Amino acid sequence: MSLVGAGPGDPELLTLKAYKRLQQADVILYDRLVSTEIRQLIAPQAEQFYVGKARSFHSVPQNEINEALVGWAHKGKRVVRLKGGDPFIFGRGGEELETLLDAAINVEVVPGITAASGCSAYAGIPLTHRDHAQSVRFVTGHLKSADAELDWDSLSRPGQTLVFYMGLGSIDFIRQSLINHGMPEEMPLALIEQGTTRRQRVYIGSLSAPPTALTDGIVQPPTLLIVGSVVSLHGRLDWFSPATGLATGFEPGEASLPLRKPPES
C-alpha cells in the first residue's frame, strides 16, 4: 500500500518512486488535482477510482475512502492512494496513514512536490530570499469564520512568506486579517491559478488592492495565494511559458469512475 504524492500537475515533476508505484499498482484511488497526463502514466492493468474533493463538495466521504483503502489492501491488491501535491501537506495523508497502520497494513509514503514549491517556482516567485524572506509558512485557507484559530499576529510579522492553500474563497478575510494585525497594506500578493500547467495564470496585487481578475470573478480554483515581498520578484524572474506546459490542467466536472468497494470474498 502506497500513499503517493503526484505533485502540482506537470508530469515531469513526478518522482521516480511515484512513477514506479503507478506502474506496479492494481488499484488506484486518485484525487481531483491529479493531472490527466499523470494518470496516463498509470499501468493499464490498474483499476482507477475517483475520490476527489472540491470546496464544499466531497465526491466520497473520507471514512469511505479509508474503508476502501483497507478493503482493497486486505484483498492482497497493490493499492496506490494518489494525491495532488504531497500527501502530508493539507492532503489528509496523516489521517489515512493512521487508518492503515491501525488495520495492520504494510504502507509507505512517497512524498511529492507540494503546490507551494511547484507553483511558486513556475511563477518565478522564490519562497525565500536573503533580501526578502528568511522563513516561509504554509497555511490552510479553509477558514470557516472570523473565529478561525490562526495566529494572525505571528503571520503578520515581517521577513517571511505566507502561502495559503485553498484560500480563494477566504481571500477577503485573509487580507483584512493581515492588515488588521499590522501587515502593510501595500504588501504584494500573488494568485497562482493551475500552476505548472498550460492553464497557469499569475495575478499580482497587494493586500489593499487585489488583482482586478479577482474582483471581476475571473480567478477560479485551484488557486494558491502567496503573500510577501518575494512576490515583487515575479516580474523579473517569470521564466515559465504556459504554452509550453506538459499538463493541460484541470477541468471542472471531469467524468471519472466512481469509487466502489472491493468485492466480498
The vertex-80 CA angle with 14 and 109, nearest 5°, equals 70
pLDDT for 12 equals: 98
Alpha helices in the chain (DSSP H): 16-24, 36-39, 62-74, 93-102, 115-122, 152-155, 171-180, 212-215, 234-237
CA–CA dist 191, 143 (Å, integer) = 17
pLDDT at 20 over 50: yes
Q: Is 10 a catalytic residue?
A: no
pLDDT for 252 equals: 66
Q: What is the mean pLDDT of the chain?
A: 92
Q: Is 31 a catalytic residue?
A: yes
Helix (H, G, I), strand (E, B) or coil at 166: coil
pLDDT for 265 equals: 52
Q: Are 200 and 192 a contacting pair, CB within 8 Å?
A: yes
CA–CA dist 230, 75 (Å, integer) = 49
pLDDT for 148 equals: 62
Nearest to 137 by CA among 185, 174, 96: 174
Catalytic residue among 53, 75, 77, 238: 53
pLDDT at 122 over 70: yes
Q: Which of 48-52, 128-132, 136-140, 226-230 has the lowest mean pLDDT?
A: 48-52
Residue with cell 509507505: 108
CA–CA dist 113, 174 (Å, integer) = 25
pLDDT for 143 equals: 76
| Interval 12-35 mean pLDDT | 97
Catalytic residue among 17, 20, 26, 31: 31
Share of the chain above pLDDT 70, in %: 90
Q: How many CA atoms lie less than 13 Å away from 219 in the CB half-sphere? A: 24
Q: Are 59 and 50 a contacting pair, CB within 8 Å?
A: yes
| Interval 56-62 mean pLDDT | 68
Q: Which of 40-54, 83-97, 242-256 has the lowest mean pLDDT?
A: 242-256
Quote the pTM value.
0.92
Per-residue pLDDT of 178-198, as tens digits, reads 999 999 999 999 999 999 999
